[in-house]
Amino acid sequence: MELETFLKNFADMLDETAPELIKADTEFRELEEWSSLTALSLIAMVDQEYSIKLTGLDIRNSHLISDLFELVSSKIK
């Protein structure tokens, strides 16, 4: 599972955010576009691209996009 692809998938699911802002150390909750509805898009993206189930607790315990990446990677194994 590639970090670059994950960052691209993350950027693709957003409507109003410049892709340059989406980096491994981005605090996703600080993005202006981030809302509870964006969280649903994230769960959908991870399900669609990686066939992995993200829970509310997973998202609450993550702060950086790299946290999410590591979480999803660990669930794939």
Partner 1 sequence: MATYSVEGIEIVGISACVPKNVEKNIENDIFTSTDEAIKFIKTTGVNERRIVPNEICTSDLSVAAALELVNKLNWDIKDIGIMVCITQTPDYHGPMNSSLIQTRMGLSKECIAFDIPVGCSGYVYGSSVITSMMKTIGIEKGILLVGDTLSKQASPKDKSTQPLFGDAAAATAFSLTNTNESIIFDLGGDGSGYEFLYVRDGGCRNPFNSHSIEYYLSEDGLIRNGCHTIMEGMDVFSFGISVAPITFRNVLNKTSLNIENIDAAIFHQANFFMNEMIRKKLKLTSEQTPYSIGKFGNTSSATIPLTIVSELKNRITSEKLNLIFCGFGIGLSWGTMYIKTNKIICPGLIEI
Does 43 participate in binding partner 1 (rule CB under 8 A)?
A: yes
Within 8 A by CB and 6+ apart from 23, the residues are: 7, 65
Q: Amino acid letter at 58?
A: D
Does 36 participate in binding partner 1 (rule CB under 8 A)?
A: yes
Question: CA 64, 50, 24: angle at the middle one, nearest 5?
Answer: 20
Does 27 participate in binding partner 1 (rule CB under 8 A)?
A: no
Which of 59, 65, 68, 72 forms a contact with partner 1 (CB under 8 A)?
59
Binding residues vs partner 1 (CB under 8 A): 35-37, 39-41, 43-44, 47-48, 53-57, 59-60
